[in-house]
């Protein structure tokens, strides 16, 4: 089966600046593919090559087996594109603009404007220039989804959306996959794609440094754990537990333990339960921390031993950024 | 997978970009048309009180070189007066400012502020987008010229200026091609570079040089200067008095065509939105 997106050694220069240094990618039909990297890593450049705004300096990129330049307008009919930064023309209201964009798709998508606007509670009669960041993002999402494209290329799709609308976006994404579409989502935050994406590629400084299952990636990223005990504990009880790294005991009081947890949390929980725990805080680590691991590890890859952790490891992963205080 | 398209259009129908862009520009185009018409009305309405013999007397007190440079040779006739004031001066300048500003904005300006991105990523070929946005420019200039010509035709009847309808159309055609050609230079430069500032600078410089060559040529007795000036191509044949100047119109059309082709060649190849 032809990959929906295939990039081989993709290089893109802006004048003397090399933005992409040989990107290799393969996205298969029907998958939700996350494209993660810090700002400036080359995400938007790659995406703009897919919709033929840019042309490669070297290497090849194909969408549905065609180069974007050769595929032209017919190929773009099959793509729904959400730019990372939306800019709208003056003196139009949201409905007028969306109807114009539908007309550019040969009228396809026009019947779905109202339904999609309702889903995102977007007021179509508002002037574009008066829209808030979140409402602008809604207009961008409606135009990307309205013509039911075979491929959705979405640059930071949920930025500016509140949690309720992020959920609406996820439902819409799932519906699109159910009808056979492929999704390519870029983000600088793992949390933004992890609930919808299957596989994830990580791009850094113009290169794809890793492609992996999103759950494995989350398990590898691990969590930062902070424990406080009622009375001083010994570091030796914790620093050699499986899955526990960088355990540090606050020397001033001897009761605050911080560590990095990768994989199964049970050994740490059992060890902690031998003492009276007064505070238990877990923070999912973000992509930036993963990149720090790339720098730190001698072989430039984070340890994989804990990547195969069971459901317990991913279970805690869904508690993004939450704090749990043990009752006293 | 393309079977899903069925019998429906697989790209944007012709004219979609044109109508969409016109909708966002209609208000400013109407304002420009009103401004150009108002200026033409003001100048022309003064003719009965200062024109004819009074103007001839005034001209005698001016240095001959100045009269030649400003094209006031035949200003004591109604056609000469309207040509000198409206078609050579403010009418031409306003049309140019509008055409160059619009031309620079239609691709380069919209690209710089990002509003072009969703249109470029839609199922529209770059060439179609280019041609339809270029058509917006020409429609815009046409609106100005039609408004101006209509106002002058009405005033000609009201004030008994006896401007020939054919000559009005000839002068209007000249103004359309002159504004359109320099607007196309701005449009094409913007399409080639993606920089609105560059587009404005290049086309404004071209317009100023065109004026200078046309004014200085007769003063320093160097006909080649006039031959090179798009402004002279437009007004040198005195279309309001003598009718169509086909060679001038042809040169203006050629300038527009060459600029448009160059811009299209570059726009369809380069990186966009960078």
In chain B, at which residue ranges do the beta strands (DSSP E only) sit? none
Q: Say whether pLDDT at A312 is over 80.
A: no
Indicate whether A305 and A195 sit together in one domain: no
Residue A58 pLDDT:
96
Indicate whether A17 and A74 sit together in one domain: yes
Mean pLDDT calculated for residue range B191-213: 96
Number of domains in chain A: 2
Residue A159 pLDDT:
86
Closest residue in A to B272 (Cα) is A53
How, if at all, do strands A182-187 and A32-36 pair?
A: parallel
Residue B273, in any domain of the structure: no
Instruction: Report the mean per-residue pLDDT for chain A.
Output: 86
Indicate whether A20 and A135 sit together in one domain: yes
Range of the domain at A40: 5-215
Indicate whether A58 and A192 sit together in one domain: yes
Closest residue to B113, CB basis, from A72, A81, A87: A87
Closest residue to A14, CB basis, from B122, B272, B274: B274
B1/A74 Cβ within 8 A: no
Split at pLDDT 50, 70, 90, the class of A303 is very low
Residue B72, in any domain of the structure: yes
Closest residue in B to A49 (Cα) is B271
φ, ψ for residue B63 (rounded to 5)? -65, 140
Say which range, A99-103, A257-261, B62-66, has the weakest mean pLDDT: B62-66
| Chain B residues within 8 Å of chain A (Cβ atoms) | 1, 4-5, 8-13, 16-17, 19-20, 23-24, 27, 110, 113-115, 117-125, 128, 269, 271-274
Of the candidates A178, A195, A215, which is a domain's last residue?
Answer: A215
Closest residue in B to A181 (Cα) is B1
Q: Say whether pLDDT at A322 is over 60.
A: no
Indicate whether A157 and A229 sit together in one domain: no
Split at pLDDT 50, 70, 90, the class of A287 is low
Q: Which residues fall within 8 angstroms of residue A76, CB to CB, at 6 or more apart?
A: A51, A52, A68, B121, B122, B123, B124
Residue A122 pLDDT:
95
Of the candidates A187, A215, A243, which is a domain's last residue?
Answer: A215
Instruction: Report the mean per-residue pLDDT for chain B.
Output: 90
Residue B7, in any domain of the structure: no
CA dihedral B231, B237, B239, B242 (to 10 degrees): 170
Number of domains in chain B: 1
Q: Say whether pLDDT at A304 is over 60.
A: no
| Chain A residues within 8 Å of chain B (Cβ atoms) | 14, 48, 51-55, 64, 72-74, 76-79, 81, 83, 85-92, 96, 100-101, 103-108, 143, 150
Say which range, A42-51, A252-261, A317-326, B129-138, has the weakest mean pLDDT: A317-326
Indicate whether A200 and A307 sit together in one domain: no
pLDDT digits (tens, 9 = 90+) for B85-140: 899 989 999 999 999 999 999 999 999 999 999 999 999 999 999 999 999 999 99
Q: If you average pLDDT over each of A141-145, A220-224, B47-51, which comes out highest?
A: A141-145
- Candidates A87, A131, A140, A151: best to mutate against B (most CBs of B within 10 A) is A87
Element (H, E) at B42: helix B16-45
Q: For the sheet with A256-261, list strands across it.
A: A244-249, A256-261, A223-229, A277-284, A323-324
Residue B1 pLDDT:
39
Mean pLDDT calculated for residue range A294-321: 42
Beta-carbon contacts below 8 Å between A and B: 99
Split at pLDDT 50, 70, 90, the class of B219 is confident
A302 or B188: which carries more pLDDT confidence? Answer: B188
Indicate whether A189 and A318 sit together in one domain: no
- Residue B28 distance to chain A (closest CA, Å): 11
Alpha carbon separation from B42 to A195, B67, B147 (Å, rounded): 68, 22, 14
* Length of chain B, in residues: 274
What's the CATH code of the domain at A167?
A: 3.40.50.300
Mean pLDDT calculated for residue range A173-200: 90
Range of the domain at B78: 12-267
A72/B125 Cβ within 8 A: yes
Q: Rounded distance, CA B182 to CA A141, Å?
A: 39
Residue B103 pLDDT:
98
Residue B70 pLDDT:
65
Q: Rounded distance, CA A51 to CA A70, Å?
A: 11
Q: Are B230 and B210 in contact (CB under 8 A)?
A: yes
Task: Report the SS3 class of residue A227.
Answer: strand
Q: Are A126 and A135 in contact (CB under 8 A)?
A: yes
Of the candidates A181, A215, A249, which is a domain's last residue?
Answer: A215
Per CB-CB distance under 8 Å, the chain A contacts of B24 are: 89-92
Residue B90, in any domain of the structure: yes
Per CB-CB distance under 8 Å, the chain A contacts of B124 are: 73, 76, 104
What distance lies between CA A254 and its chain's CA centroid? 38
Among candidate residues A103, A162, A307, A135, the one with its CA nearest the CA of residue A221: A307
Mean pLDDT calculated for residue range A176-195: 90
Q: DSSP label at A275? A: S
φ, ψ for residue A326 (rounded to 5)? -70, 135
Closest residue to A77, CB basis, from B10, B115, B271: B10
pLDDT > 90: what percent of chain B?
72
Split at pLDDT 50, 70, 90, the class of B242 is very high
Q: Say whether pLDDT at A289 is over 60.
A: yes
Q: Give the HSE-up count for residue B144: Cα atoms under 13 Å, Cβ half-sphere.
A: 33
Residue B1, in any domain of the structure: no
Q: Are A72 and A52 in contact (CB under 8 A)?
A: yes
Residue B4, in any domain of the structure: no
Q: Which residues fall within 8 angstroms of residue A231, CB to CB, at 6 or more apart?
A: A255, A275, A276
Q: Say whether pLDDT at A254 is over 90.
A: no
Q: Say whether pLDDT at B47 is over 70.
A: yes
B20/A100 Cβ within 8 A: yes
> What angle, rounded to 10 degrees, do the helices at B165-193 and B126-158 form?
150
Residue A130 pLDDT:
93
Split at pLDDT 50, 70, 90, the class of A317 is very low
Indicate whether A232 and A172 sit together in one domain: no
Indicate whether A77 and A206 sit together in one domain: yes
Q: Rounded distance, CA B177 to CA B183, Å?
A: 9
Residue B274, in any domain of the structure: no
pLDDT digits (tens, 9 = 90+) for A56-76: 999 999 999 999 999 999 999
Q: Rounded distance, CA B79 to CA A41, Å?
A: 65
Indicate whether A230 and A83 sit together in one domain: no
Mean pLDDT calculated for residue range B175-190: 98
Closest residue to A77, CB basis, from B11, B119, B271: B11
Indicate whether A207 and A247 sit together in one domain: no
Residue A19 pLDDT:
95
Indicate whether A143 and A107 sit together in one domain: yes
């Amino acid at each position: 089966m032809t990959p929906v997106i295939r990039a081989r050694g993709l290089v893109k220069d802006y004048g003397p600046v090399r933005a992409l240094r040989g990107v290799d990618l393969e996205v298969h039909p029907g998958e939700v593919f996350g494209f993660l990297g810090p700002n400036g890593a080359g995400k938007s450049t790659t995406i703009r090559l897919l919709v033929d705004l840019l042309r490669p300096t070297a290497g090849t990129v194909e969408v549905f087996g065609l180069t974007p330049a050769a595929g032209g307008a017919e190929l773009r009919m099959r793509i729904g594109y959400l730019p990372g930064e939306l800019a709208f023309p003056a003196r139009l209201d949201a409905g007028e603009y969306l109807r114009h964009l539908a007309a550019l798709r040969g009228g396809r998508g026009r019947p779905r404007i109202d339904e999609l606007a309702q889903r995102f509670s977007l007021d179509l009669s508002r002037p574009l220039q008066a829209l808030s960041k979140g409402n602008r993002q809604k207009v961008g999402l409606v135009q990307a989804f309205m013509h039911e494209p075979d491929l959705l290329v979405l640059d930071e799709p949920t930025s500016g959306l509140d949690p309720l609308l992020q959920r609406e976006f996820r439902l819409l994404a799932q519906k699109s996959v159910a009808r056979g579409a492929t999704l390519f989502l870029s983000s600088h935050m793992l949390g933004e794609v992890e609930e919808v994406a299957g596989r994830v590629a990580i791009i850094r400084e113009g290169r794809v440094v890793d492609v992996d299952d999103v759950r494995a990636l989350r398990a590898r990223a691990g969590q930062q754990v902070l424990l406080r005990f009622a009375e001083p504990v010994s570091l030796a009880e914790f620093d050699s537990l499986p899955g526990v790294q960088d355990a540090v005991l606050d020397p001033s009081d001897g009761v605050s333990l911080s560590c990095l947890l990768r994989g199964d949390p049970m050994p740490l929980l059992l060890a902690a339960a031998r003492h009276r725990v007064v505070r238990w805080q877990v923070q999912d680590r973000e992509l930036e921390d993963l990149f720090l691991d790339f720098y730190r590890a001698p072989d430039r890859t984070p340890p994989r031993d804990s990547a195969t952790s069971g459901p317990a490891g991913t279970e805690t992963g869904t508690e993004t950024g939450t704090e749990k205080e043990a009752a006293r | 997978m393309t079977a899903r398209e069925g019998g429906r259009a697989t790209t944007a129908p012709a004219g979609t970009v044109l109508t969409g862009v016109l909708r966002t520009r209609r208000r400013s185009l109407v304002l420009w048309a009103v401004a150009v018409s108002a200026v033409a009305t003001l100048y022309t309405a003064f003719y009965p009180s200062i024109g004819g013999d009074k103007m001839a007397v005034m001209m005698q007190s001016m240095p001959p070189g100045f009269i030649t440079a400003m094209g006031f040779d035949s200003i004591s006739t109604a056609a000469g007066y309207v040509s000198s004031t409206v078609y050579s001066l403010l009418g031409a300048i306003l049309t140019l400012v509008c055409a160059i500003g619009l031309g620079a904005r239609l691709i380069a300006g919209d690209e710089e502020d990002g509003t072009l991105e969703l249109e470029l990523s839609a199922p529209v070929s770059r060439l179609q987008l280019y041609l339809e946005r270029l058509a917006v420019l020409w429609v815009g200039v046409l609106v100005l010229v039609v408004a101006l010509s209509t106002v002058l035709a009405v005033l000609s009847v009201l004030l008994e200026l006896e401007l020939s309808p054919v000559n009005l159309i000839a002068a209007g055609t000249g103004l359309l091609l002159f504004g359109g050609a320099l607007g196309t230079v701005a449009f094409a430069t913007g399409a080639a570079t993606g920089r609105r500032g560059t587009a404005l600078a290049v086309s404004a410089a071209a317009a100023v040089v065109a004026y200078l060559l046309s004014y200085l040529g007769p003063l320093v007795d160097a006909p080649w200067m006039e031959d090179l000036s798009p402004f002279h191509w437009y007004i040198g044949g005195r279309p309001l008095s003598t009718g169509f100047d086909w060679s001038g119109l042809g040169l203006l059309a050629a300038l527009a065509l060459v600029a448009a082709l160059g811009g299209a060649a570059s726009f369809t190849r380069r990186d966009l939105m960078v």
